[in-house]
Structure formats: C-alpha cells, structure tokens
Amino acid sequence: MAKSGIGARRSAALEDGGPAYVARRDEIIKAAAHVFRDRGFEATTLRDVAEATDTDRATLYYYVGSKEELLQEIVRQALGQDIATAYTVKRSRASTKDKIAALIEAMVKGYDANYPHMHVYIEDLGRISRQDNEWSTDVIARTREYESIVHSILTKGQRDGTLRKDLPVELCAMALFAHCFGVDRRAPGVTAWDFAASFTLIWICAGMISGPRHILELFQHIAIAP
C-alpha cells in the first residue's frame, strides 16, 4: 500500500510539473545515466542510483517508479538531443559532404556519451516497436523523425551530385546507422570518435560519395576532427 501511495504521489507531482520536482527528477535521471554507464544497465539496481543521488530508495520512488523508467527517460532525452542536432545540421549552409561529416560526428559522439543506455535502446528497438504504451509510441515517432532528417540530407546529396544516385537512400542511411551505432566494441583507451574516424569513411562514404576527390576530402575532414 505504501508503494502504491508513493506511486500516486509521483503521478500527481509529474502532472503538476513543479520546477523543484522537475529539476530534482532531472538530476536523478542524469545520475542514473552515469551509473548505468559505469556498472551496466543489467547490473545496476535502484539502490545504486539512490546512493549516487545521496538519497534513499523510498525517496527515489517519489521521482521514478523503476530502473526501466529511468532508462526510458534517458533514451527519450538522448533522442531529443540527436533530433535537435540533426535539424541544426540540415538547416546549415554547409555542403552535403560537410553535413554528412557533421552527422557522423554527432551520431558517434552522442552514442558514446549515452552508452550503454542507447545501446540497450538500439538492441531492443524491435521489441519497443511492438509495445503499446505512451513511451514506446513516442520513441518510435522520434526515431522515425530522426531517420527522416538523415534521409533528406542524403537525398539532397544525390540531387547535387555529391552522393551516388544508383544507391537507395534508405540503404545508405541504414549503413550509416549500422556503422556509427556499432562502435562500442573497441580497444581500451580508443574513443568512439577515433575508432569511427579510422574506418567509417572507408566502409560507408567511399561507396556513397561521387568521385575520388570528394572521398579524400570527406575522409580527411573526419579523420582530423577533434
């Protein structure tokens, strides 16, 4: 009954959206992201999160109902950041090759910064898409919005001659996602960005970009990025 009471109070506080409550909840979500990163999602308990936020489990339940809810909020926020960055890239006056370079950088750095929770989300995307709840509906909508932005950038690249026109945009985008979001298995001390910079252009852009000069310029742009 006590747990149910806490759940009712949590729902009321979320609906009310008081600034102090929202700020503290955001602090807990950010702290949980660090704990998940250090310990791994499966190994982490709510007790670990409570200790990281200098609170007890009973108080923690006032802000979140479960470890899964924390993961959901982390993923939701990360996707929101990715979408905002992708829109900024799309609306910029940069060339297509520079936009692709910016997308690769944002994808890899965002994935690395939000690992392992984004990895959990990507690996579980099929199951998420089959769920019938507010969070899964929102996440799938955000995922499709992000994919649409990337598709539009690649489509423009085909129109202006930067990208090969004989390759389906959907296939190019899938290759981009697969490589940029699959960089978590790397040698100790090697950052996701350095790892991706060493091979991404060879495996993806070398086959997508029209003309050897564009390939070399884009590879150099990625390889020397900080």
pLDDT in tens, 163-218: 778 778 887 787 777 767 764 444 455 555 554 544 454 445 545 555 545 544 55
| Cβ pair 173, 156 in contact under 8 A | no
Residue 50 has pLDDT above 90, yes or no: yes
Nearest one of 76, 3, 69 to 32, comparing CA atoms: 69
Chain mean pLDDT for the chain: 77
What confidence tier does 150 reach under pLDDT thresholds 50, 70, 90? very high
Rounded to whole angstroms, how far apart are CA atoms 133 and 112? 28
Query: Omega of the bond prior to 19 within 30 degrees of 0, cis?
Result: no
Q: How big is the CA angle at 83 (ends 165 and 216), to the nearest 5 degrees?
A: 40
Q: In the prediction, which pLDDT does 153 show? A: 93
For the beta carbon of residue 181, count every other beta carbon within 10 angstroms: 20
Determine the pLDDT at residue 151: 93
**CA–centroid distance for 8 within its chain:** 31
Ramachandran category for residue 202: left, alpha or beta (phi over 0 → left; psi -120 to 50 → alpha): alpha
Would you state the pLDDT for residue 225? 37
